[in-house]
């Protein structure tokens, strides 16, 4: 999708006026506001009905700007060089003189930061002189939005402006790595853990224990399309939506393919939009074929497992 400069200007105008604007990224759409402003960031929580205790990710244009707010280390630099801009979020220590609004971090001393790759989002970040705090642009506990229309479906005209950027190319949220102490993964996401491990040359702990969770958005009741989901199912009834990754002999109206040839990147890209479509088609339950637990299949299974706890 081409950059439309008049749209970027419109988005900038709303953001400069402390309003929230929905923005495209390669992972999922975000609901953005000026991360330096208490007034602007407060609106994100209100619109999303998000608990104040759940901190936000701040989106930066480049390393220079990030260094105004955060302390960095060797591991960060290695990963930054290899994967940024891209679908990786870092938890870093906040500098004492950082201007980040306390709403963003819930008054804590750590900040989640990311450098999005989407070219329209990058063009917007270039135009403004503050970073953007942005959670995924969906209502709390619902699946993330991966298109302009998904955002509209969730928020109607409650959002002042949605910057269009086409469908998100990855379709899953960013992977989160905590670099405060020993590196550990807080959320599986659009960047494979194996890729990160290759660069850091070590095996990483994946913190999935809901009792000592440090990313509140990782609670089980998350990413839910609002109807029951059952995993690892071989056959479906006609009244159940059947989520598939392998081509079936017969076609049926309740079959929804994430991919027809077992391509897990394609499946990731289609996951959230397909879950939304199934809901629109009025199915009351979803069953899912077994999805290989490799590559982005791990993230897909993570999201479906959480959604199945509905
Ligand atoms: O791909 C993405 O990461 C998208 C796009 C818009 O950038 N954003 C996104 O944001 O998924 P959100 O708010 O839906 O999920 C952010 C997660 C939440 O689980 C939150 O609890 C966690 O990051 N988080 C934010 N700040 C944190 C911090 N300082 N320490 C630990 N976890 C944090
Ligand atoms: Mg979210």
Name the residue ranges covered by the structural domains of the chain: 5-206, 229-307
Instruction: Establish whether residue 296 lines the binding site of ligand 1, counting it when its CB lies within 6 angstroms of any ligand atom.
Output: no
Q: How many residues does the chain have?
A: 310
Instruction: Establish whether residue 299 lines the binding site of ligand 1, counting it when its CB lies within 6 angstroms of any ligand atom.
Output: no
- Residue 104 alpha carbon, nearest atom of ligand 1: 26
Structure tokens at 207: 């913190």
Instruction: Establish whether residue 54 lines the binding site of ligand 1, counting it when its CB lies within 6 angstroms of any ligand atom.
Output: yes
The alpha carbon dihedral of 192, 193, 198, 199 has a sign of positive
Q: What is the mean pLDDT of residues 109-122?
A: 98
Instruction: Establish whether residue 91 lines the binding site of ligand 1, counting it when its CB lies within 6 angstroms of any ligand atom.
Output: yes
Write the pLDDT tens digit of every residue in 2-54: 999 999 999 999 999 999 999 999 999 999 999 999 999 999 999 999 999 99
Instruction: Write down the architecture of domain 5-206 according to CATH.
Output: Alpha-Beta Complex (3.90)
Going by their DSSP bridges, the two strands 132-133 and 57-59 should be labelled as antiparallel
Residue 211 confidence (pLDDT) above 60:
no
- Ligand nearest, relative to CA of residue 116: 1
Structure tokens at 93: 């220590």
In sequence order, which residues have a C-beta less than 8 Å from that of residue 209 and are 6 or more positions away? none
pTM listed for this prediction? 0.95
């Amino acid at each position: 999708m081409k950059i439309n400069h008049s749209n970027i200007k419109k988005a900038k105008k709303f953001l400069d006026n402390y309003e929230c604007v929905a923005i495209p990224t390669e992972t999922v759409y975000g609901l953005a506001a000026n991360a330096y402003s208490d007034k602007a960031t407060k609106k994100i929580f209100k619109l999303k009905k998000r608990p104040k205790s759940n901190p936000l990710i701040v989106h930066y244009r480049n390393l220079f700007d990030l260094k105004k707010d955060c302390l960095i280390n060797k591991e960060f630099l290695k990963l930054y060089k290899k994967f940024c801009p891209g679908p990786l979020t870092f938890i870093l220590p906040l500098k004492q003189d950082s201007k980040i609004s306390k709403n963003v971090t819930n008054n804590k001393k750590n900040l989640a930061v990311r450098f999005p790759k989407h070219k329209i989002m990058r063009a917007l970040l270039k135009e403004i002189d503050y970073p953007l705090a942005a959670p995924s642009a969906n209502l709390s506990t619902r699946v993330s939005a991966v298109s302009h229309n998904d955002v509209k479906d969730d928020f109607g005209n409650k959002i002042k402006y949605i910057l269009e950027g086409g469908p998100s190319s990855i379709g899953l949220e960013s992977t989160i790595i905590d670099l405060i102490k020993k590196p550990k993964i807080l959320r599986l996401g659009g960047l494979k853990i194996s890729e990160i491990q290759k660069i850091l040359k070590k095996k990483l702990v994946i913190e999935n224990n809901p009792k000592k969770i440090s990313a509140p958005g990782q609670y089980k009741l998350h990413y839910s399309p609002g109807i029951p989901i059952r995993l690892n199912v071989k056959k479906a009834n006609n009244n159940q939506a059947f989520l598939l990754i392998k081509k079936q002999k017969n076609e049926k109206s309740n079959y929804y393919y994430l991919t027809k040839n077992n391509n897990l990147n394609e499946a990731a890209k289609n996951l959230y939009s397909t879950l939304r479509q199934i809901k629109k088609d009025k199915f009351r339950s979803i069953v899912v074929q077994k999805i290989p637990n490799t590559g982005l299949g791990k993230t897909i299974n993570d999201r479906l497992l959480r959604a199945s706890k509905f």
